[in-house]
Structure 1
Amino acid sequence: MPSLAQSLTALLVSEHAALLRRTTRIVGSLTAAEDVVQRLWLKVQQIEDAAVRNPRAYLFRLASNLAIDHRRAEAARQRIQARAETYLWGPIGAASAEASVIDRQALARVLDALEVLPDPGRTMFRLNRFEDKRIVDIAALYGVSTTTVENHLRRVLAQLRIARETS
């Protein structure tokens, strides 16, 4: 006597087109429905023998449940992705005029502070941040160690941070 898994697998093969139609209606896409039917096949392989009065109805109920789970998971994934994009990038065009003015003022303070910083820190910072020069190359240019360049950059960044935060 064939096991339940074997008979459900045979039924799945014979009802494949009907299962695809059912799951496509639920998930809204043939590609996603094919994934659901594939997961159904895997699930059927793991079913242990049990008393099932109507194997066809049981198989279609499993398919529907997997399709609903897929739809819910996809909706949750889209919500999470939208939230993550909002946190990362913020709503596009949502910056208020006041926030834009505050940001421009902070940028002006930072640029003014950069102009009055003593050399060689100011020049090292410009080379590193604006001209993409590596710290090793800047150290060779000035004839100093990379640690010295890093210390200059650290001091410049600290002074610029203070200038940015001062209102």
Structure 2
Amino acid sequence: MLIAERPMLVRRLARIVGSEPVAEDVAQSLYLRVQRVEDDPPINNKRSFLFRLASNLAVDHVRAEQSRARMQAEAQALLWSELAPPDPEQAASLNIELARVLKAAATLPEPTKSIFRLHRFEGLRQSEVAAHQGVSVTTVEKHVRRALAILRRARDGE
């Protein structure tokens, strides 16, 4: 029945979700869901059940997309919102903190300094850094953790 009703189902789903490609995805989900439906107790009107199930899946999909869009908008607002510029006292404190971190970064021991630079500033994955330096990934992880600990202590003025 699902195959016979598919064109009509996809049209109905497209009206609900607003897009034929998305309706096709929901129809595929419907196919998977129908495979799990048992006929105990017997379903009297299978066609009606099929269309109700399709509508429910489409509405669930729309709600999930709306929720996802809302969360994404909130995340974007948090990430890209304008921050108030720091007052002069905060700016001075931040400059001192930055100077401590830069000084600590400059004095990182080798190979911690090179490994940290390759991973964090040049964007190499840890496995790539390990191959480049001729060490294990575990060693790279250890050096990155060490560098972060040193920089964190410098930032905190320890």
Shorter chain as denominator, the TM-score bin is 0.5 to 0.7
Unaligned runs of 5+ in 1: 1-8, 138-145
| Alignment-mate amino acid for residue 91 of structure 1 | L
Partner of residue 30 from structure 2, selected from 29, 35, 40: 40
Q: Give the C-alpha shift of residue 21 in structure 1.
A: 1.1
- Residues 80-108 of structure 1: CA deviation (Å, up to 9, x unaligned): 5556x56xx95225333118835444212
Distance 1:104 1:57 in 2: 68
Which deviates the most, 121-130 or 33-42?
121-130
Q: Give the C-alpha shift of residue 69 in structure 1.
A: 1.4
Q: Does 1:96 align with 2:96?
A: no
Residue in 1 aligned with 2:64?
A: 73
Q: Does 1:50 align with 2:42?
A: yes
Give % identity: 40
Q: State whether residues 19 and 37 of structure 1, in contact with CA within 8 Å, keep that contact through their aligned partners in structure 2.
A: yes
Aligned length: 136
Q: Give the C-alpha shift of residue 77 in structure 1.
A: 3.6
What is the TM-score of this pair, normalised by structure 2? 0.57
Q: Give the C-alpha shift of residue 126 in structure 1.
A: 4.5
Q: State whether residues 114 and 122 of structure 1, in contact with CA within 8 Å, keep that contact through their aligned partners in structure 2.
A: no
- Residues 105-140 of structure 1: CA deviation (Å, up to 9, x unaligned): 42123234566x6xxx65665444447787xx6xxx
Distance 1:55 1:157 in 2: 61
Q: Give the C-alpha shift of residue 17 in structure 1.
A: 1.8
Q: State whether residues 109 and 163 of structure 1, in contact with CA within 8 Å, keep that contact through their aligned partners in structure 2.
A: yes
Q: Give the C-alpha shift of residue 47 in structure 1.
A: 3.6
What is the TM-score of this pair, normalised by structure 1? 0.55
Q: CA RMSD in A?
A: 4.2
Q: Map 1:1-12; keep pairs closer than 5 Å.
A: 9=1, 12=2
Q: Map 1:10-25; keep pairs closer than 5 Å.
A: 12-25=2-15
Unaligned runs of 5+ in 2: 120-128, 134-138
